[in-house]
Amino acid sequence: MLLDFGVEPLMLGKAIVDGLGLTHANLDPWTYHILTSMGGSKKRQGLTTQEIVIQVNPNKPTNYTTMQAWIVVTHATSYDVLVGNVVLYPLGVTIDFWEEIAYYRLGWQTGASHKASLPMRFIGGASRKI
């Protein structure tokens, strides 16, 4: 899973799409293109016909929260799940890069400020010669 504050939607890559069995019957057509960080352009396969429930920390009852979002389906192989601002912003996600922890607001629906956290691991990214 990639957290990306520079992208708006929540996107699923090919492996997850195939694993969930999503087909064109589950998707509305989408004609826009995704401009990638490497300068390419990819056509989206579709947008889910219904909002999908997203569970955050489901195995920890005291840190568990949910939200709903429309999901963009792609055939990308460079990620399984790319989480953009449509999820990150409402949850109030902040990242402590030094400690490698992502914090989110548990009571985001009601405006409560109690925070919970998820461990993170930074991995090497794509690079391009300029």
The CATH number of residue 36's host domain is: 2.40.70.10
Provide mean pLDDT across the span 79-100: 85
Residue 23 placed within a domain:
yes
3-class SS string, 15-56: HHHHHHCCCHHHEECCCCEEECCCCCEEECCEEECCCEEEEE
> CA 124, 42, 1 angle in degrees (round to 5)?
40
Average pLDDT of the residues of the chain: 78
Question: Domain count of the chain?
Answer: 1
> Residue 63 sits in which domain range?
2-91
Q: In this predicted model, what pLDDT tens digit does every residue of 34-75 receive, in sequence order? A: 666 655 556 567 888 888 888 888 888 888 888 888 888 887
User: What pLDDT is stored for residue 58 in this prediction?
Assistant: 82
**Alpha-carbon span 89 to 82, nearest angstrom:** 14
User: What pLDDT is stored for residue 25 in this prediction?
Assistant: 82
Provide mean pLDDT across the span 86-100: 86
Residue 103 placed within a domain:
no
* SS3 category, 128: coil
> CA 39, 71, 60 angle in degrees (round to 5)?
115
User: What pLDDT is stored for residue 126 in this prediction?
Assistant: 47
User: What pLDDT is stored for residue 129 in this prediction?
Assistant: 47
Residue 28 placed within a domain:
yes
User: What pLDDT is stored for residue 128 in this prediction?
Assistant: 46
User: What pLDDT is stored for residue 71 in this prediction?
Assistant: 85
Residue 117 placed within a domain:
no
Residue 16 placed within a domain:
yes
What type of residue is 30?
A: W
Residue 114 placed within a domain:
no
User: Bigger pLDDT: 34 or 9?
Assistant: 9
CA distances from 23 to 16, 26, 71 (A): 12, 5, 13
Residue 17 placed within a domain:
yes
Provide mean pLDDT across the span 19-47: 72
